[in-house]
Structure 1
Amino acid sequence: MSKNSDENAMDEVTWGVRVAAAWTWRLLVIGLGIYILGRAFLKIELVAFSFVLALFFTAVLHPLEVFFRRVPGSRSVSSLLALLVGIAAFAAIASFVTWQISAHSSELADQLSNFVAKTRDWLHKGPLHLKSSDVDKMAEKLTKTIKDHQGQLISGALQTARTILEALGAILLILLSTFFLLRDGDQIWEWTVRLFPRAAHKRLDLAGRAGWGTLGGYMRGQVLIAVFHGISVMIVLFVLRIPLAAALGVLIFLGSFVPLVGLTVTGTLCVAVALLEHGVTAAIVVAIAIIVLVQLEAHLLQPLIMSRSVEVHPLAIALSVLTGTLLAGIVGALLAVPFVAFLNSTINALRNSPALPVGDSGFPVEHTTEPGGKPVDAADPDDPEP
């Protein structure tokens, strides 16, 4: 009686509910797996982020490595030359920004002092009509807060020193990883593919190469867009005779690697410097230039420079940048959009590649044929490599 009741109860469950239940427990298992991977990732985040950054640098430097293969010598020579060019470019940018800041530091300090004085006068004489005593109390309270938290400031300085050491280790890891990826990238990828079942090798290889091509195209295209933004803003700032124009142009270049958001944030700093130096009119001109550049990026540069396979919808860009920022700060914002572009291309390649037949075990199998016509399962570990 109870058995018949159970069967009747199962019959009462509709097909849609069964499908929903099947999807639910599978999604829960997938979510648990992603959570476990995320926890493991946080334990080694310095190593993981360093390797991911090395992948991005490799995508940018790969055409250089291919060009330097014309130089007599092994792949180590061409890889080292490409890496040295990348290091030289990065060092030149950092040195230039440092030189610009040190050369205009006194002028910038004077402008900042004038801004503080003007702000104090505005608080006293402006719409708020704050008394001088109130402004002085605010300054004293700020000073007292700093003195009361000197211990925390010292511990923060120690933490900063530790961060610097970790950053140096990460830089060394990035350089080593980039060199070996440039030199032995094909061998590393082939080894990675062999970690998966043999029946999945072909589809995985096609999808991975499609994703890598998209990542390389995206990174190189983003470099071109960043150069255009940096030069354009630098010209506007030079015309307005704003100090640190060249350094701010480099800052715009770096910020442009975070699509839409990066240019907006770094552009705001340019507007603030223009406001300090030449007042509201100059600030408005710079703001208009930044807005025009944002529109050019969204409607002209992205469709023109990026291929169809690299394009990511602006909503996906905004969501990925915000998610990356919440998860990993600035580094997450930098990595979010390239990661989404890579996933988009890889998933499309997997979806468009022909699926293999499914065997009795439920896993895809690939069949070949013996000389006599008998099918052979290629997933058999005793078979030779194809």
Structure 2
Amino acid sequence: MPEPENPTFGEAEPAHDDAVGQPHTEAEGQPIIAAEQDAARISSPAHPLGEPGPRFNRKSPFIIGLTAAAGVAVTYGGIELLIAARGVLILIVIAAFLAVGLEPAVSWLVHRRIPRWAAVTAVFLVAFGLLAGFLAAAIPPLVTQGTALVDNAPDYLHHLQQRYPTIDQLNSRFHLQDKLQETIGGENVPSVLGGIVGAGKVVFSAISGAVIVFVLTAYFLANFPRIRASLYRLAPHSRRPRTILIGDEIFAKVGGYVLGNLLISLITAVLTFIWLIAFGVPYPLLLAVLVAVLDLIPIIGSTLAGIVVALVALTVSLPISLATVVFFIALRLIEDYLLVPRIIGRTVQVPPLVTVVAVLLGGALLGIVGALLAIPIAAAILLLAREILFPQLDRR
């Protein structure tokens, strides 16, 4: 039987995918037809797409130049990408650290034969309930005390002028009361309105960032075993067991630091609140919350909090202010030599010098977030150096 004049290539040799580029005819050209026939020949049930061909000559000048150019381009693009996504990456890092910090609680529930989804839900419900209850109880007095502090600031400054000549001299030289009155009053309406708009943007950004961190933390916690396994799969098979041991130790250090730091800040806030109530210092709840937030910042946080609280206590009396300074010094000693060693000292063992340098570098690179994450990162780096770098150097 004679063949048709213009047969399709698919009818002559089914070496192509029937779902791509139909119809296959001789118009494709002899080189493509020959390649299609070779493709049909190398395709087999064991290798449907054929076996890999020979590697390119990596020593070829073209390959070397292409690789170098691609490396520069990829490096530059990666740096630009990191800069552009800096804000989002910070939120992701915060969520990852929170997930690692909550992981011990989730794993504890899982060990009690509770499904992981139920354990994650329970931990989040407890954390969210505590946070919501605190905000519901604290926001009304915080708003009231904050408004009262702003409204009464000029009166407090005038009162301090009358009692302490040094402050009166500073006010006469720098016109502090006039500037404070202009800032709070309605004489500079555009600036006030601009400040309100700016504050609204800050609040909106904080709320949206908190929601993103909350959702990411939930995803990280729910998928933590899978994420952990995927990270360990990146290590070579021969080094994977030791990678698991070191990685789990790092996770434990980060988790212990996050939970321990939150607990220490809560303790310092409660002690500060009791002190302020006992000595009649105004705005005790507002100042206690400020102490809790600032105390999360290593090294300088508690010092800044003590200065602010001592200045507010100065409106009561100079002896109360000096006693508050002594209280914060004692609180810092208790925190450094009692709370930190017992709560997180055994988990995160970082020398004081390394702590200071890490906090300074972290603060310079990422601000408050960098200062918060500096110590666990430094602990992880020290662990890697002790277990990997130093043994290799000692063998050389």
Structure-2-length-normalised TM-score: 0.67
Identity rate, percent:
22
State the SS of the aligned residue for 1:311: coil
Residue from 145, 149, 172 that aligns with 1:108: 149
The verdict on how the C-alpha distance between 1:57 and 1:309 changes in structure 2, with shifts beyond 3 A counting, is: closer
Name the CA distance, whole Å, in 2 between partners of 1:196 and 1:90: 39
Name the CA distance, whole Å, in 2 between partners of 1:224 and 1:45: 29
Q: Is 1:293 aligned with 2:331?
A: yes
The verdict on how the C-alpha distance between 1:135 and 1:252 changes in structure 2, with shifts beyond 3 A counting, is: closer
Cα shift readout 1:141-190 (whole Å, capped 9, x = no counterpart): 967xx98894x876666565555444344323222221122222111111
Residue from 58, 65, 68 that aligns with 2:106: 65
Q: Is 1:344 aligned with 2:385?
A: no
Name the CA distance, whole Å, in 1 between partners of 2:251 and 2:197: 40
Task: In structure 2, give the amino acid aligned to 1:179.
Answer: A
Residue from 279, 285, 297 that aligns with 2:317: 279
Cα shift readout 1:251-299 (whole Å, capped 9, x = no counterpart): 22222221221111112221122112x1211111111011111122222
Name the CA distance, whole Å, in 2 between partners of 1:128 and 1:249: 28
Name the CA distance, whole Å, in 1 between partners of 2:259 and 2:177: 53
Name the CA distance, whole Å, in 2 between partners of 1:256 and 1:201: 38
Counterpart contact for 1:227–1:253, Cα < 8 Å: yes
Cα shift readout 1:288-342 (whole Å, capped 9, x = no counterpart): 0111111222223222323445121222222222222222222222222222223
Name the CA distance, whole Å, in 1 between partners of 2:344 and 2:171: 53
Counterpart contact for 2:160–2:167, Cα < 8 Å: no
Name the CA distance, whole Å, in 2 between partners of 1:246 and 1:137: 26
Which residue matches 1:44?
A: 85
Residue from 349, 356, 360 that aligns with 1:318: 356
Cα distance, 1:124 vs structure 2: 10
Task: In structure 1, give the amino acid aligned to 2:94.
Answer: L
Aligned residues: 321
Task: In structure 2, give the amino acid aligned to 1:223.
Answer: L
Residue from 302, 305, 316 that aligns with 2:340: 302
State the SS of the aligned residue for 1:312: coil
Cα distance, 1:39 vs structure 2: 5.2
Name the CA distance, whole Å, in 1 between partners of 2:171 and 2:338: 48
Cα distance, 1:127 vs structure 2: 4.8
Which runs of 5 or more residues in structure 2 are unaligned? 1-73
Which residue matches 2:260?
A: 221
| Greater Rg over alpha carbons, structure | 2
Task: In structure 2, give the amino acid aligned to 1:173.
Answer: I
State the SS of the aligned residue for 2:296: coil
Q: Is 1:238 aligned with 2:274?
A: no
State the SS of the aligned residue for 1:101: helix
Task: In structure 2, give the amino acid aligned to 1:213.
Answer: A
Q: Is 1:87 aligned with 2:128?
A: yes
Cα distance, 1:84 vs structure 2: 2.0
State the SS of the aligned residue for 1:79: helix
The verdict on how the C-alpha distance between 1:187 and 1:79 changes in structure 2, with shifts beyond 3 A counting, is: same
Counterpart contact for 1:65–1:82, Cα < 8 Å: yes
Task: In structure 1, give the amino acid aligned to 2:133.
Answer: A
The verdict on how the C-alpha distance between 1:305 and 1:73 changes in structure 2, with shifts beyond 3 A counting, is: closer
